[in-house]
Amino acid sequence: MSKIKCAIIGPGNIGTDLLYKLMRSDVLEPVWMVGVDPTSAGLARARDLGLKTTDQGVDGMIDHVIADGVQIAFDATSAYVHAENSRKLNALGVLMIDLTPAAIGPLCVPPVNLAGLVGRQVMNVNMVTCAGQATIPMVNAVSSVQKVDYAEIIATVASLSIGPGTRKNIDEFTRTTSGAVEKVGGASKGKAIVVVNPADPPLMMRDTVYCETAEEPDREAITASVHKMIAEVQKYVPGYRLKNGPTFDGRKVAIFLEVEGLGDFLPKYAGNLDIMTASAARAAEMFAQEILAGTLELKPVPAEEAA
């Protein structure tokens, strides 16, 4: 079976971990790794694995996109350069999967809304944040049973797993996540809290989700819905686990999660990075299956229409 060819922009930890996941895919084939630093270890690694590489950014790949049949690109750089990368590649009919907090395109949390996005002919989807990928499925599991007035998520990540970009822009991280708790999770109001823990050995990513339901919570239905959603996420993040709960206290529902990474390239404690790359790969696979089945045709986005 033929595969959809992909490019990864950003050969850092995320891009490299993603590369390992794409190489296992039945429907995706990574062919390009794009960087900006000729001495990058990530570019060298990708080259050794048989990918074409450039250290000239997206411009270094742009003339080869059509000839090499690239149809999907993942951006694991930063919000500042994403818009430009997206514009250039969308113009050539390449679908962008955005792992930065730029959020130009619709927010995507695969088990919640990916199926809906595939039918909308979008050319750019944003993968929210790691905290969003870990918690929004649970908010949705509750809000699909009954109305959630307020949802709050607390994400704790190991200090070693959070890079300088996120640290410098922690406000964007919390705001993007709380916005997505509302828009994708389905809570009327959302709040996100992030804690960076430096323990050594590093702690595994922990996430807590509190939902306040409008009416008395239906304990059985919520518990069943939470377990069903856990199983959905486990399909692409096997280390996604319910540690405790759901517990019920008045209208408050509490769900305690742990995310262990696969350890593809990043250590297992970095479940936060694993769930980002796994979600991005999952989203791309769903689009790829539609392209291969002929139900989705990617169309170039003229520059003047691009975001």
Binding site for another protein (CB under 8 A): 150, 152, 154, 156, 159, 164, 167-171, 174-175, 191, 193-199, 203, 206, 208, 210, 212, 227, 230-231, 234, 241-245, 247-248, 252, 254, 256
How many CA atoms are closer than 13 Å to the CA of 65, on its beta-carbon side? 23
What sign for the dihedral angle of Cα 157, 44, 15, 230?
A: negative
Nearer to another protein, 47 or 167 (CB): 167
Is 5 annotated among the ligand-binding residues? no
User: In the chain, where does DSSP find H-type helix?
Assistant: 13-23, 41-48, 59-62, 79-90, 115-118, 130-143, 164-168, 170-183, 219-234, 271-293
Would you name the residues annotated as active-site residues? 130
Residue 197 labelled as part of a binding site:
no
Task: Give the count of alpha carbons within 13 A of 27, CB side only.
Answer: 15
Is 166 annotated to bind ligand? yes
**Nearer CB in complex with another protein: 3/175:** 175
State how far Cα 238 lies from the chain centre.
Answer: 15
Give the C-alpha separation, 273 to 208, whole Å. Answer: 17
The least CB distance from residue 106 to another protein, in Å, is: 23
Looking up tokens 């699909």 gives 144
- Tell whether 164 is in a known binding site: yes
Which residues does 19 contact at the CB level (< 8 Å), separation at least 6? 8, 30, 33, 45, 46, 49, 51, 265
| Euclidean distance between CA atoms 73 and 32, whole angstroms | 9
Is 57 known as a binding-site position? no
Yes or no: say if 272 and 162 are a contact pair by the CB < 8 Å rule: yes
- In whole angstroms, the minimum distance from the beta carbon of 275 to another protein comes to 17
Closest CB 190 distance from another protein, rounded Å: 11
Closer CB to another protein, 12 or 93, in the complex: 12
- Give the shortest CB-217-to-another protein separation in angstroms: 13
Is 167 annotated as a binding-site member? yes
Q: Are strands 70-75 and 95-98 parallel, antiparallel or unpaired?
A: parallel
Toward another protein, which CB reaches closer, 52 or 268?
Answer: 268
Least spacing, CB of residue 47 vs another protein, in Å: 32
Instruction: Tell me whether residue 3 or residue 251 sits nearer to another protein (CB atom).
Output: 251
Residue ranges for the known binding site are: 161-169, 272
Per the annotation, binding residues for NAD(+) are 161-169, 272
